[in-house]
Amino acid sequence: MRIMLAWFSVCITLGSILPVTLKNYLSPSKLETVAELEGVEVGSLLLTTNDRIFLTTSSTERDTFTLVEIKKDGSSSEYPINSLSNSTHPISAKSDNKDVMWFLTEEVKKGNSKNLYTLVGWNVLENKLEKKLTIPSSVLNTQSTLQDFTIDDNSTFYIVDLVRDKETGEGKELGLITVDKNSGTSTRMNVNHSNLHNNHRFSLSKPASFSIDKSDEWVYFGNSYDTNIYRISTNQLWSEPNSSLDIELYRKKPLSSGFKVDHHGDIFLADIEKGSIGVVKKAGYQSIVQDSEKLTGNLDLAISSDGYLYISDKGKQSGNNSDFKAFSTIKKVKLLIEDPS
């Protein structure tokens, strides 16, 4: 299984950013525990359009992957996917606006051959395979390492590719691959800009991940160990194929393990240093809820349709060194927002 040491987050959000002011966010009273899972490590946190909760998990006792659904009473049950082997560990998983769960998988090839990457879509409403999409080798490098992906409402996949140096294994190039679900058309763009390379804290040696909201005009991203958020216009991804992407510095943030964008263009994130959840707005950063005992910083986030921010924490432990068990928790906090008008 790939060990995620750090994390980029990339978010697609509505055209011109229309943030509400800081006073519109009220301090929520507490974190609510949704579920606790012992003996498993959670990966991706997925919500359907009607807020069913799914998690990709792996067992600490046996090397297996499962998709788990969290019920309303906090109980969990395995959700069978016969198109994925239990021994397959997806790089990432995301749900689209049609309640299809998509899994990015990798088959490692020997020698100088390019690894085989596939997107597997499973319809959880009809419990059947939706589609399999193989990422064409024409958009891959022999040292490509696909990190994560996201999906817009038009069924376009955006996949981040970290190209590593063959000798050192260090990241030397960041690419963005687009795949059209319907036609299979794929393009590749390189992210190569002085805003990144002049930033000594921005490292291409770290893994990357994506997230998305309900729009598709801007891509936002930032490294865990960087305090900047950058953005890219998605218009470039199809209008200027096979060229370098023009990026711009967008806003400042604390060190974070990931972020999500809401419908107002505000960026919610997990603050690594403070063990808190906060929001980055045009006017600045605001902490929403802080609990370093309950939030380890190794988090994934999702925003529900009824205004809750769901948080999966994959860093808890139980037992001693000789009897180690992972202890994962799912929590939620209500985002209390006044009328921004």
Q: How many CA atoms lie within 13 A of 214 on its CB side?
A: 10
Classify residue 241: in a domain, yes or no: yes
Position 203 scores a pLDDT of 54
Q: Which residue has the tokens 């059209």?
A: 180
16 has pLDDT over 60: no
Between 9-18, 30-39, 228-237, 273-282, the lowest mean confidence (pLDDT) is in 9-18
What average pLDDT does range 54-79 have in this prediction? 82
Residue pLDDT, tens place only, 201-226: 555 555 455 666 567 777 778 777 77
Write out the DSSP string of 117-164: EEEEEEETTTTEEEEEEEPPGGG--TT--EEEEEE-TTSEEEEEEEEE
Is residue 58 over pLDDT 80?
no
The count of structural domains within the chain is 1
Q: Is residue 296 part of a domain?
A: no
| Higher-scoring residue by pLDDT: 80, 157 | 157
Residue, of 270 and 157, whose pLDDT is higher: 157
Residue 23: φ, ψ to 5°: -65, -15
Instruction: Compute how many other C-beta atoms are within 10 angstroms of the C-beta atom of residue 284.
Output: 10
Cβ proximity of 229 and 25 under 8 Å: no
**For residues 2 and 92, what is the distance between their CA atoms, to the nearest angstrom?**
10
228 backbone φψ class: left, alpha, beta (φ>0; ψ -120 to 50): beta
CATH assignment at residue 174: 2.120.10.30
**Is 256 a domain residue?**
yes
More confident position, 19 or 240: 240
Residue 94 inside a domain? The answer is: yes
Query: Who has greater pLDDT, 327 or 48?
Result: 48
Asked whether the predicted pLDDT for residue 8 surpasses 60, the reply is no
pLDDT in tens, 271-315: 888 878 889 888 889 888 877 666 766 678 888 988 899 998 876
172 is in which domain, residue-wise?
8-18+41-261
For 308-339, write each residue's pLDDT tens digit. Answer: 999 988 765 555 554 556 678 888 888 865 44
User: Mean pLDDT, the chain, as a whole number?
Assistant: 76
Q: What is residue 292's predicted lDDT score, i.e. its pLDDT? A: 65
What is the full DSSP assignment across 68-97?
Answer: EEEPTTS-EEEE--TTS-TT---SEEEE-T
Asked if residue 266 is part of any domain, the answer here is no
The pLDDT confidence band at residue 238, using thresholds 50, 70 and 90, is low
> Is 29 contained in some domain?
no
Does residue 228 sit within a domain? yes
Q: Look at residue 270 and tell me if it is in a domain.
A: no
For residues 299 and 316, the answer to whether their CB atoms sit within 8 Å is no
Share of the chain above pLDDT 90, in %: 16
pLDDT average, residue stretch 24-42: 74
Average pLDDT over residues 242-246: 68
pLDDT at 122: 92
Who wins on pLDDT, 153 or 258?
153
